[in-house]
A and B are shown apart, each in its own frame.
Chain A
Amino acid sequence: MMEPKTQPPVERPPSAETFLPLSRVRTIMKSSMDTGLITNEVLFLMTKCTELFVRHLAGAAYTEAFRQQPGETLKYEHLSQLVNKSKNLEFLLQIVPEKIRVHEFKEMLRLNRSAGSDDDDESESGSESDE
């Protein structure tokens, strides 16, 4: 059966129920520096908000990669691609980095080094004594 699935992936009815455990979300919130008292209402909202974020991240990565086609597999690289593209996911750049191959990494190092040594050449007379 083909179901007309035109609604955005994050659609859901409002509800006071949470899926994620509140206690765990509280621990996570407390791990952030100088978080004061956490009211039940704030805890509820944060939990809901995190759930929404999971839905959003998964749905957006999938849509970006396959549109709405059924049956595909969402992979790591789809997530890192989305993170790289989206301004509001910038805070995840170091959490979900794009993977690179070893030889690409070596090439990067080589380029960096040669760029670095160019800099050294320019300021040779001034900063040599630092080393």
Chain B
Amino acid sequence: MVERIEDLNLPNAVIARLIKESLPESASVSKEARAAIARAASVFAIFVTSSSTALAHKQNHKTITAKDILQTLTELDFESFVPSLTQDLEVYRKMVKDKKESKASKKDSSVAESANASATPAAEEAAE
């Protein structure tokens, strides 16, 4: 649970950077505007989460899925976010899969190597 209300704030530096990237060159942001955007972002996250939770519950699911979030975004009139988020999700899933595979293959190869060179299995493991 949240102990302090500041725990709901998003880091200022990251917000500032995201804002800067989305504005034309040499544009600036007032401090008050930046604070308002940061607050809005926290509320947005809560809003989307609770809406997605409601959607998941309606379908008798206990936990929300990526699909629930994307559907919620469409319902909340943010369907313009969906295509790029779908792409991000594809990249993310691929990354997770690659990580798993490389981990698995590493294990395989280290097992094979230690079998081949039974003299240095300890060194092999230490390198992992």
Contacts and interface: CB of A to CB of B under 8 A. Distances in A.
A5 interface: yes
B57 to A, nearest CB: 8
Report, as a range, how many residues of chain B touch the other chain.
35 or more
Given A3-B25, A42-B69, A70-B25, A16 B88 contact: yes
B30 A20 contact: no
A100 interface: no
A58 B49 contact: no
Contacts of A59: 22-23
Interface residues of A, number: 66
Given A41-B89, A75-B30, A88-B76, A56 B84 contact: no
Interface string A4-29: 01000110101110011100110111
Given A42-B64, A49-B69, A88 B77 contact: yes
Nearest to B27: A72
A38 B56 CA distance: 12
A75 B50 contact: no
B118 interface: no
B40 A92 contact: yes
A52 interface: yes
A33 interface: yes
Nearest to A29: B49
B84 A14 contact: yes
Nearest to B8: A28
Interface of A: 3, 5, 9-10, 12, 14-16, 19-21, 24-25, 27-42, 44-46, 48-59, 61-62, 66, 68-76, 78-80, 83, 87-88, 91-92, 95-96
Q: 3 shortest A-B CB distances, which residue pairs? A: A88-B77, A14-B87, A55-B22
23 contacts: A20-B10, A21-B11, A24-B11, A32-B53, A33-B50, A35-B64, A38-B63, A39-B65, A41-B65, A45-B66, A45-B85, A53-B40, A56-B22, A57-B37, A58-B19, A59-B22, A68-B24, A74-B30, A76-B36, A79-B40, A91-B47, A95-B36, A95-B43
